[in-house]
A = this chain, B = another copy of it.
Amino acid sequence: MKSDIPVTSLQRLPIYLNYLKSLGGGGFISSGAIARALNMGEVLVRKDLAYTSAQGRTRVGYVKSELISALEEYLGCNDKKNAVIIGAGGLGSALLAYGGFSNYGIDLVAAFDNNPEKCGKEIAGKPVYNVSELKDGISRLAVKLAVICVPAKHAQEAADLLAGCGVKKILNFAPVLLQTEEDITVRNIDVAANLAILSSMV
């Protein structure tokens, strides 16, 4: 039933998960308590959580540990998935060094770059390969996810390469609209735009 969830709901599930994990301890938690803590509407919270297998109980709410497990299951935290970084510059290197991906079952296994000086080296213990080896690497490492961290002018090229290697899910940090086939899902993180949006919020 995963395909039925709106992306807006899906996007909130990690927020619930982070919040519940930050609480620690056992016991129950109600959708109302979650809503108040996260400054959201209670109906919205209950609706979002209903996409998972968690069962709330009248008056007491959810068993905290069950709700955490249900969210983790929904988000695939227990399914190991290999991901790669395209572009081992500043951002790519920072992501390689970041440990938070493992919480979601994601293992950043390698980076690819076109700079020969970077290739064959390691960043944060992860190998950097030449982008000419992408197809072989994607297949050998059973990679399902890729993160584009190249400059804007090379992002489309990187997306085309990934598509040619069978990668269907791309997280794109370059501030460009990638043109891809319909069976490829792209999520964009435009950091500068996010800061501008924040600045425009009143």
Contact = CB atoms under 8 A, between A and B. Distances in A.
Q: How large is the interface on A (under 10, 10 to 19, 20 to 34, 35 or more residues)?
A: 35 or more
Given A18-B176, A22-B177, A97-B90, A10 B200 contact: yes
Contact of A195 (B89, B147, B201): B147
Contacts of A90: 90, 93-94, 97-98
Interface in A185-201: 185, 187-201
Query: Taking the full assembly, how many copies of this chain does it contain?
Result: 2
A202 B2 contact: yes
Contacts of A176: 18, 22
9 contacts: A7-B201, A11-B197, A18-B175, A90-B97, A90-B98, A95-B191, A98-B192, A144-B199, A189-B191
Interface of A: 2-3, 7-8, 10-11, 13-15, 18-19, 22, 37-38, 74-77, 81, 83, 89-91, 93-95, 97-98, 100-101, 103-106, 144-145, 147, 152, 169-171, 175-177, 185, 187-202
